[in-house]
A and B are shown apart, each in its own frame.
Chain A
């Protein structure tokens, strides 16, 4: 994209709401660099104690799978029911399994 060099790049923001949980994508914002992105993310996405840790990633570094390929891309998982514990018949009376 031919953009004004004074435009700040776009960053994707991930917030961990509580210690021990995953960082979750919450949105995006523009900032001149990573430090500023983190500060802006604090102001925009944690005004009500929504998190205690922030990750920022330049949006251009995110690569995504293609929605139009979704069917063939994920269908290897469709016919492998034996990957789920409910596939197996347990002998009557066995405990803790």
Chain B
């Protein structure tokens, strides 16, 4: 009989040797709990993330943009599914995971509690929100839990079109009429800081980060990812003639990175606590879709039973 301490050492040795952990392997309870929370939050973010963009499907400015947006939103639904499946491999039922979202017990990325007021917001979401998500997701392709890593590889392959379509929307608007350019700038102004918040608290205020790094769930810290995102995005904004809404933003020759202003963490904490502009609306929309879809789930089960009966006869 191997004792738990020994099992934990073997587990950590596997992680240190860059071996993936698979569903049936022994794992510490805290590792399992941590991953269930992280992956399900990630899944919920994909699903709730369809709402702010869905808001513009019927009002996209052209058939081309509408087709693109539909495909993107469909991808997000698919990403939610890959991630829900990964959660399920840890022994939690799909129903339980969904219930936790609907009841408000589970969290999702706070960025989706901001409204999409103009068409330019669809551009800003693709460019900034998906851009920030990609930074995190590329890192997670090498996460230690096999099913999560595999889901992330698939997601990253699909995600790069999302960022590019968003940046293209912004570029086209920025080259358009003065009103269109102003609309693009306004969207950048509103989405910039919430996008930076997506990387989570600063390393100094992120108590679970060290353990997640040791277990190789995460491989880069929140601050490292945030800095890389800023360094890349500033250049992209310059190319299309938009201004990052941060007066303190300045290239630092010594560090070879941008210095930048302070994030308003009070706002972040408020939105996480449920007081963002759209928290209630998002949850209500998910609950409505789920309850109004109940008859479809029931009808599919009844139809499957009827077909099986016919086949047996």
B25 at the interface (CB under 8 A from A): yes
Q: Are B158 and A48 touching (Cβ within 8 A)? A: yes
Residues of B within 8 A of A33 (CB): 303-304, 307-308
Q: Are B22 and A67 touching (Cβ within 8 A)? A: yes
Q: Are B85 and A28 touching (Cβ within 8 A)? A: yes
Q: Are B301 and A5 touching (Cβ within 8 A)? A: yes
How does the 8 Å CB contact mask read for B73-95 relative to A, with 1 for contact and 0 for none?
01100100110010010000111
B31 at the interface (CB under 8 A from A): no
**Given A67-B24, A68-B26, A29:B81 Cβ within 8 A:** yes
- Residue of B with least CB distance to A10: B88
* Bound CA span A36–B85, Å: 17
A6 at the interface (CB under 8 A from B): yes
Choice from A1, A27, A64 contacting B151 with Cβ under 8 Å? A27
Q: Are A1 and B93 touching (Cβ within 8 A)? A: yes
Q: Are A3 and B304 touching (Cβ within 8 A)? A: no
Q: Are A67 and B93 touching (Cβ within 8 A)? A: no
Q: Are B22 and A47 touching (Cβ within 8 A)? A: no
User: How far, in Å, is B201 (CB) from chain A's closest CB?
Assistant: 32
* Bound CA span A64–B74, Å: 33
User: How far, in Å, is B27 (CB) from chain A's closest CB?
Assistant: 11
**Given A10-B88, A67-B22, A68-B26, A32:B300 Cβ within 8 A:** yes
Residues of B within 8 A of A66 (CB): 24
User: How far, in Å, is B102 (CB) from chain A's closest CB?
Assistant: 14
User: How far, in Å, is A77 (CB) from chain B's closest CB?
Assistant: 19
B297 at the interface (CB under 8 A from A): yes
Q: Are B303 and A27 touching (Cβ within 8 A)? A: no
A4 at the interface (CB under 8 A from B): yes
A58 at the interface (CB under 8 A from B): no
User: How far, in Å, is B267 (CB) from chain A's closest CB?
Assistant: 36
**Given A7-B94, A47-B74, A32:B85 Cβ within 8 A:** no
**B interface vs A, CB < 8 Å?**
22, 24-26, 71, 74-75, 78, 81-82, 85, 88, 93-95, 150-151, 154, 158, 294, 297-298, 300-301, 303-304, 307-308
27 example contacts (A-B, Cβ-Cβ < 8 A) are as follows A4-B95, A6-B294, A6-B297, A6-B298, A6-B301, A7-B94, A8-B300, A8-B301, A26-B154, A27-B85, A27-B150, A27-B151, A27-B154, A28-B85, A29-B81, A30-B94, A33-B304, A33-B307, A35-B307, A36-B304, A43-B74, A47-B78, A48-B158, A67-B22, A67-B25, A67-B26, A68-B26
Kindly list 10 other residue pairs between chains A and B, CB separation below 8 angstroms, not including A6-B294, A29-B85, A35-B307. A7-B95, A8-B300, A26-B154, A29-B81, A33-B307, A44-B82, A47-B75, A47-B78, A64-B24, A67-B26
